[in-house]
Each structure stands twice: as C-alpha cells, then as structure tokens.
Amino acid sequence: MIEPGVTILVGGAFLIGVLGFFVMMASLLLRAFRWAIRSLAETTPPPAAAELGVPPAKRTCPYADCAHDNPPAAIFCARCGRRLPEPYDGGGHG
Ligand SMILES: [Zn+2]
C-alpha cells in the first residue's frame, strides 16, 4: 500500500524531470540554431584591412620643418609642395 503523500512526491519529481528535459531540449535546439547561423555567417568574406584597424600608409612629409600628413595617394606635399618619397622603397631594381 502506497501512501498518497508518496504518490504526490513521486509525481512532482516526475513533472520536474519532464520539465527539465524539455528545457534542456529547448536549449540544445537553440544552441544548434545559433551554430547553424554562425556557420552561415562565416561564409562571408573577411573584412578589409581598413576595418581591422590597420591604418592606411600616410605620406608624412619627411622634412622636419613641415612633417605634414598627406593622403596615401599624394605625390607632393600639400603643405610645402616638396616631393614625397615613394611609399615602396627598395623595389628590387637598383
Ligand atoms: Zn611638407
């Protein structure tokens, strides 16, 4: 003969177990869903160098009395007008 109190305790434990099972399954499904979205997002190309925080090569005027920061495509200094050195020195040919 099982007492009613024991039956209620067992039933409550069973209900809690079922609830925990559903919560666990929901979290697993959510995790799998996020993993699928992340795997899809990783197929996109990596960001450009500028977006990674790498600053573009500024053409700083080499003369101490000027030292003006020119845009990377500048050939002559925008402040003193003197020619800026090549951004790529040592190209392999003397
Ligand atoms: Zn200059």
Q: What's the pTM?
A: 0.36
> Residue 12 is part of which domain span?
1-44
CA of 84 to the centre of ligand 1 (A): 8
Long-range contacts of 80-88 (CB under 8 A, 24+ apart): 84/59, 87/57, 87/59
**55/31 same-domain check:** no
CA of 86 to the centre of ligand 1 (A): 14
The domain total for the chain is 2
CA of 50 to the centre of ligand 1 (A): 25
pLDDT at 1: 62
Q: Dump pLDDT digits (tens) for 33-62.
A: 999 888 887 776 666 655 666 666 788 999
Q: Is residue 32 one of the residues assigned to a domain? A: yes
What letter does residue 67 receive in the DSSP assignment?
Answer: -
Task: Answer with the residue of higher pLDDT: 31 or 50.
Answer: 31
CA of 88 to the centre of ligand 1 (A): 18
Which are the contacts of 87, defined by CB distance < 8 A and separation ≥ 6? 57, 59, 72
pLDDT at 72: 85
